[in-house]
Structure 1
Amino acid sequence: MPNASLLNQLLRFTPTARMFFSGNLCTLTQGSEADGLKQGTMHLLSRGELQLTRKGFAPLNVRAPSVLLLPRALEHWLQGSGPQGVDLMCATLSELAPPLDMILPDVTVIDLTATSSLQRPVELLFEEAEARAFGYRAAIDRLLQYTFVVLVRHLIDRQLLSGGVLEAMVDSRLGVVLSMLHESPEHDWTLDSMAELAHLSRSAFALRFVQVVGIPPLTYLTHWRMAVARNLLAQGQAVKAVASQVGYGNATAFARAFQRASGQSPSAWQMEHLSQP
């Protein structure tokens, strides 16, 4: 298992969470781009049983108390079983950043009766939703984000997550490279400089990185830089300033890379996200 310092890198950019439903459910359709929902979701069940349906997959029955995590935008349907439906809370999740996006499965179900660390935050969420005291929505969104962090901790502690990036983190050669990429995205990284850091030849390093992580090292670097850039843009920093902080010599080159990765220009992405409540 990676050490604590490396595990912290998994959650350096924790996705934000926003509640969009709380109450009794009979039927709910989510994740459809036609409906405008293009984010991951987290569902917390406090009572009853629901059925998760996705195209091409057998229906999945989930009993309360549970947390159902779908960290990517996947079209799915939730239907409460029985005449009384289920009591639950639903939240959207902002885009995952590497390396976390490379290890979380499309669907995760956690039984809260066997997970003491998650029980109290979920109880607090439903208490806030029921009381609806001043500032309850802000409190709920922050508790949802905390719940997500605790959920990832649980998955790591129980060794329920797998993926090449986790193996790379404990690899004696690749781990130091990943750590430095994460800490210094602004550095003028090349395949040669990464290989030198790993004490491997250029070809041996490139091959080992792809075999373990699953993508080329420069591709991984770009994914990480874009995650850092989104975080900085969401803070309101100027595009030119962000470009230099993620290793691009000028704003034009950065804008092209960001457009390819996100489907929007940096300024358009920033405007959209800063306008969100």
Structure 2
Amino acid sequence: MDALTDILASMRLRGEVYFRCELSAPWGMDIDRTPVAEFHVVARGSCWLKMADMEKSICLEAGDVVVFPHGHAHVLLDAPDSVALPAEAIIGSRKIDRYGPVVYGSGGTTANILCGYFEFDRNVRYPLIDALPPLIHIQGADATEMSWLQTTINFICYETRAMRPGTEAVVNRLVEVLFAQIMRAYIAQTATPPGILGAIADAKVGLALNAMHLRPEYAWSLEELAQHAGMSRTAFTQRFHTLAGRTPMHYLTEWRMQKAKEMLISTSMTMPTIAERVGYQSEASFGKAFKKYIGVSPGACRREAALSH
């Protein structure tokens, strides 16, 4: 299993489409900060995006997708100088069923926008999410290089319009696929992806990272990881730290503790078994490391999870 696949699988990622918007100029939608990572797909037409601290508005064209990984507030407009109303005011008291559509505007130039969200466990700090910027903008103009992404977008747009039996299940699975493909596109389009994404994208460091994720229980040494990367120990350590912002062994311990937390919450495995699965022969040493990185003991983590369900 490669690192990105393993990371995405651990995030308990899920997502949905809120609704489709059929908007006609003039219009503007002001969207508050949210605890989820919202996204918009411009299915037809164009619009403008504004965010706090953004020097200039961004024009979004048909086929573009934007994601706000940390839930930042933003404004969508038909033109940069249009007036924006809160999203709640545009939706009003209408009940949105079967993805809408939400129809709003005064009959001018039209734009169709798909609005949805990605959600994951915010109680866990994922290096991948920490590495993401406030805004990811994938342009539809790159469709020739990323036809797989546009195919997913087109499929989601079609399903939300057609509303056939099983549409909701299909759309929800496609939204999860969309997130993975957006991560791929972001890595491919960014010269030096930040944080762990840079390590995943690096031709040499990525090989060592994949090895860690494939066998997190193995007693990895720096020498062995450097060999996987085809680098000297010193060069590998420096390169990994430059890209990921942490040493290889620090990252490995973080990942092991994250995997351990997942097993504590979602399985009935014993503590010794979990300790062994993440590379610890001693339950005591595992407990010490877990408390250092997670903040509570393994037992307390399992009890808290049980109480919350």
TM-score (norm 1): 0.70
- What is the distance in 1 between the residues matched to 2:172 and 2:42? 16
1:191-230 matches, cutoff 5 A: 193-195=221-223, 197-198=225-226, 206-229=237-260
| 1:90 maps onto 2:121 in alignment | no
Q: CA deviation at 1:125?
A: 0.9
Tell me: CA distance 1:48–1:202, structure 2 relative to 1, closer, same or farther (3 Å).
Answer: closer
Structure 2 residue matching 1:149: 3-state secondary structure: helix
Structure 2 residue matching 1:46: 3-state secondary structure: strand
Tell me: CA distance 1:126–1:175, structure 2 relative to 1, closer, same or farther (3 Å).
Answer: closer
Percent of residue pairs identical: 23
Tell me: CA distance 1:212–1:254, structure 2 relative to 1, closer, same or farther (3 Å).
Answer: closer
Q: Flag structure 2 segments of 5+ consecutive residues without an equivalent.
A: 80-104
Letter in 2 for 1:112: G
Structure 2 residue matching 1:56: 3-state secondary structure: coil
Tell me: CA distance 1:161–1:268, structure 2 relative to 1, closer, same or farther (3 Å).
Answer: farther
Tell me: CA distance 1:150–1:164, structure 2 relative to 1, closer, same or farther (3 Å).
Answer: closer
Aligned-pair Cα RMSD in Å: 3.9
Partner of 2:65: 67
- What is the distance in 1 between the residues matched to 2:37 and 2:250? 23
Letter in 2 for 1:123: N
Matched residue count: 254
- What is the distance in 2 between the residues matched to 1:103 and 1:90? 22
Q: CA deviation at 1:91?
A: 1.5
Tell me: CA distance 1:67–1:252, structure 2 relative to 1, closer, same or farther (3 Å).
Answer: same
Larger Rg belongs to: 2
Alpha-carbon contact 1:44-1:122 (below 8 Å) kept: yes
Q: 1:152 aligns with which of 176, 179, 183?
A: 183
TM-score (norm 2): 0.64
- What is the distance in 2 between the residues matched to 1:176 and 1:120? 29
Partner of 2:99: none
Structure 1 residue matching 2:256: 3-state secondary structure: helix
Partner of 1:109: 137
Structure 1 segments (4+ residues) deviating >6 Å: 96-99, 199-204
Q: CA deviation at 1:66?
A: 1.3
- Larger mean CA deviation between 104-113 and 194-203 belongs to 194-203
- What is the distance in 1 between the residues matched to 2:259 and 2:162? 37
Partner of 1:27: 29
- Larger mean CA deviation between 126-135 and 229-238 belongs to 229-238
Tell me: CA distance 1:62–1:231, structure 2 relative to 1, closer, same or farther (3 Å).
Answer: farther
Q: Which has the higher contact order (CA 8 A, sep 6+)?
A: 2
1:1-277 matches, cutoff 5 A: 8-14=2-8, 15=11, 16-24=13-21, 26-32=28-34, 37=35, 39-58=36-55, 59-71=57-69, 73-81=70-78, 83=105, 86-94=112-120, 100-101=128-129, 104-115=132-143, 116-158=147-189, 162-163=193-194, 166=198, 169-171=202-204, 174=205, 177-189=208-220, 193-195=221-223, 197-198=225-226, 206-229=237-260, 231-232=262-263, 235-238=266-269, 240=271, 241-248=273-280, 249-250=282-283, 252-253=287-288, 255-257=290-292, 259-260=294-295, 266-267=301-302, 270=305
- What is the distance in 2 between the residues matched to 1:223 and 1:50? 41
- What is the distance in 2 between the residues matched to 1:196 and 1:151? 32
- What is the distance in 2 between the residues matched to 1:214 and 1:150? 24
Q: Flag structure 1 segments of 5+ consecutive residues without an equivalent.
A: none
